Structure 1
Amino acid sequence: MEELLVFGGSGSRRLTSAICRHLEVAPGDGEVIRFSDGNLFVKANQNVRGRHVYVVQSTVFPANDNFMELLFWIDAFKRASAASVTVLMPYFSYGKADKKDEPRVSIRARVCAEAIEAAGAARVVTMDLHAPQIQGFFTLPVDDLYALPLLAEAIGTGEDLVVVSPDVGFAKQARKYATRLGAPLAIADKERVDHSEAARVIDLIGDVDGRDAVIVDDFTITAGTLAEVAEALIARGARSVRAAVTHGVFTGKSMERLDDSPISRLYVTDTVENQPVRLSAKVETVSVAPLFAEAIGRIHRRESISVLFQ
């Protein structure tokens, strides 16, 4: 691990420290300065010449600042003659913008992918992209890790467990949870009519009567969908409701909605750590640091990381 350096951006300092503990290396020494006019300044305070650098940065809270900071880190390391720069982006906030689904709009995920490449990244490691095809926006290697094994372990197994997808779009991934947990699958049919981040559940496919339901999803922002699906599950006879979400992107009144909902426990990972709200006692955080540390180690030793996708 002599040539390995792991730096953390402003969006993932705690996760970076946890990753470094697993790798048994010290976090890289760097600094970020925010000037009064909004400009960002980044600097590595140690020699990176000829070293393989790994920079950890989730691009959220604030999304634009953290994304620009990430680009500046990549450029700084390349200009300091790092042998390579690998980006670890636990949560890619613009991953939701993966298609042109209405006139005169930008495919923002593609723009961000091109910017990361132009800045000089050699590889990207991320987790639970909103759409797997986003990997195709890059021409460099992309490893999209899964939080499923860690969240499934936190959920545990149960005789009367049922896994619930909050919409048809996540059904394929939810089925993987169901298979892993040995449970049947139910699917909520929801409708989203605008950009208000609110959705309406209009139907529920599957039997949840008398069962312990677990809603699974890749991210939540307002907790509105989770709360509404939970209400629908209780109305259909579910005995209890929990939820497991990879990215806890909590804003506004999300915690109030969670506390007022029938959800007894919400499992989230630590891919997002700068939420502007105080987390509810119902939220339980599962760390993905071991998974990212293993990915870094395998990439650094030029070993296959396919075992991490099993």
Structure 2
Amino acid sequence: MVAKNEDESLKIFSLNGNIPLAKKVARVFGTELGEGSIKSFSDGEISISIEESVRGVDTFIIQATNRPVNDYYMELLIMIDAMKRASAKTINVVLPYYAYARQDRTANPHEPITAKLIANLIVEAGATRVLTLDLHTVQVQGFFDIPVDNLFTMPLFAQYYREKGMTDDDYVVVSPKNSGVQRARSLAEYLGTTIAIVDQGETEADEGYVIGDVQDKNCILVDDILNTGKTLANAADLLKANGANEVYACASHALFSDGAKETLEQSEILDICVTDSCLTEKEQQPQNASYITCAKLLGEGVKRIHENTPMSPLFNKVDKDFL
């Protein structure tokens, strides 16, 4: 689908991954999504038709790669190729969620680095730039041979919690695993709190432990990808066992896979704040989930890329206008 814009030097396209988010991004420019066509043949092949000229135009393709991941990546690659053959000036890929980013190394012998493979496919298809949100690890940017702008959701969450008065000494920002310490530290700096870490055990017999003081504190768990919900739920149990009062959580990308709704609703977490970077069905969303939009942040990123203005102000922006 295509966004019609008075500025004919820029056009915004959306594939099927997250059309509601794409519409919100288009509204940042005062536009509405127009008509395009994405069809599937009976054997599963995807057919895409661009129904207006993009010759000499800066194009932006918005595609979230939530479930079904592989179908949505194939849509993206076909659309990039279509743009290239239609003589678009630039082909900018907006990936609110970059699936396969967790496969960024060979953890065991003979494993692929699938995050690199996906980057290669996007570049070889013809993309000229990528705009994404909260990569699982920032070094994934180095897998691309084109510019990559990785925006951060922590300022959005900081504004959400500030408006609720959830700051200072009564609160602790907690990483539910060792690898997320930098993310927790970033949010803690915005909120003026201390941090703690949950070191979860690798087996059922090893329950894990909490590093840091959470006794009589309200805790905010922070993660990037919320999939099954078990990591956050287990971390919340450990925090309560170590004397925490109330437990809250936030996550950049809410996949809410099968079973996540039940796991999170039965957990000790009172409120789970997530962005709309991923599209999930209403019945998959737990009742204790709260949504904030990343549309204005992504829209501002699109605007700055198009206008060739600095992206750096967006990396630490805390402003209610972006919620």
TM-score with structure 2 length normalisation? 0.91
Q: How many residues align?
A: 306
Q: Are residue 279 (structure 1) and residue 289 (structure 2) matched?
A: no
Q: Are residue 226 (structure 1) and residue 236 (structure 2) matched?
A: no
Equivalent-residue separation in structure 1 for 2:231 and 2:188 (angstroms) = 20
Q: Deviations over 1:164-191 (max 9, x none)?
A: 0011111012101111110010000124
Q: Report what 1:166 is aligned to.
A: 176
Equivalent-residue separation in structure 1 for 2:206 and 2:71 (angstroms) = 32
Q: Structure 1's 124 and 209: CA in aligned 2 closer, same or farther, altered over 3 A?
A: same
Aligned-partner residue type, residue 230 of structure 2:
G
Structure 1 segments, 4+ long, off by >4 Å, are 198-201
Greater displacement, 117-126 / 35-44? 35-44
Equivalent-residue separation in structure 1 for 2:137 and 2:181 (angstroms) = 13
Greater displacement, 22-31 / 132-141? 22-31
Counterpart of 1:36 (choices 36, 42, 49) is 42
Q: Structure 1's 286 and 252: CA in aligned 2 closer, same or farther, altered over 3 A?
A: same
Q: Report what 2:320 is aligned to.
A: none
The alignment yields a C-alpha RMSD, in angstroms, of 1.6
Q: Are residue 202 (structure 1) and residue 211 (structure 2) matched?
A: no
Q: Structure 1's 97 and 275: CA in aligned 2 closer, same or farther, altered over 3 A?
A: farther
Aligned-partner residue type, residue 32 of structure 1:
I
- Residue 100 of structure 2 aligns to a residue whose secondary structure is helix
Q: Report what 1:11 is aligned to.
A: 17
- Residue 33 of structure 2 aligns to a residue whose secondary structure is coil
Equivalent-residue separation in structure 2 for 1:275 and 1:179 (angstroms) = 34
- Residue 139 of structure 2 aligns to a residue whose secondary structure is helix
Q: Are residue 92 (structure 1) and residue 98 (structure 2) matched?
A: yes
Asked whether the 8 Å contact 1:20–1:293 carries over to 2, the reply is: yes
Counterpart of 2:294 (choices 283, 288, 296) is 288
Equivalent-residue separation in structure 1 for 2:171 and 2:207 (angstroms) = 21
Asked whether the 8 Å contact 1:87–1:124 carries over to 2, the reply is: yes
Q: Report what 2:222 is aligned to.
A: 216
Q: Deviations over 1:105-151 (max 9, x none)?
A: 11000000000000000000001111111000001000010011111
Q: Structure 1's 199 and 62: CA in aligned 2 closer, same or farther, altered over 3 A?
A: farther
Equivalent-residue separation in structure 1 for 2:282 and 2:139 (angstroms) = 30
Query: Which blocks of at least 5 consecutive residues in structure 2 are unaligned?
Result: 1-6, 317-323
Q: Are residue 63 (structure 1) and residue 69 (structure 2) matched?
A: yes
Aligned-partner residue type, residue 191 of structure 2:
L
- Residue 265 of structure 1 aligns to a residue whose secondary structure is strand
- Residue 32 of structure 1 aligns to a residue whose secondary structure is strand
- Residue 164 of structure 1 aligns to a residue whose secondary structure is strand
Equivalent-residue separation in structure 1 for 2:308 and 2:148 (angstroms) = 15
Q: Structure 1's 201 and 266: CA in aligned 2 closer, same or farther, altered over 3 A?
A: farther
Equivalent-residue separation in structure 2 for 1:212 and 1:31 (angstroms) = 49
Asked whether the 8 Å contact 1:12–1:273 carries over to 2, the reply is: yes
Query: Which blocks of at least 5 consecutive residues in structure 1 are unaligned?
Result: none
Equivalent-residue separation in structure 2 for 1:300 and 1:272 (angstroms) = 24
Counterpart of 1:48 (choices 54, 58, 62) is 54
Aligned-partner residue type, residue 221 of structure 2:
I
Aligned-partner residue type, residue 81 of structure 1:
S
Equivalent-residue separation in structure 1 for 2:196 and 2:80 (angstroms) = 43
Q: Report what 2:271 is aligned to.
A: 265
Deviation at 1:2, TM superposition (A): 2.8
Aligned-partner residue type, residue 77 of structure 1:
M
Greater displacement, 44-53 / 12-21? 44-53
TM-score with structure 1 length normalisation? 0.95
Equivalent-residue separation in structure 1 for 2:248 and 2:277 (angstroms) = 20
Greater displacement, 10-19 / 36-45? 36-45
Equivalent-residue separation in structure 2 for 1:45 and 1:306 (angstroms) = 35
Deviation at 1:50, TM superposition (A): 1.2
Q: Report what 1:306 is aligned to.
A: 312
- Residue 224 of structure 2 aligns to a residue whose secondary structure is strand
Aligned-partner residue type, residue 185 of structure 2:
R
Equivalent-residue separation in structure 2 for 1:200 and 1:297 (angstroms) = 49
Q: Structure 1's 234 and 120: CA in aligned 2 closer, same or farther, altered over 3 A?
A: same
Equivalent-residue separation in structure 1 for 2:271 and 2:131 (angstroms) = 29
Deviation at 1:274, TM superposition (A): 3.4
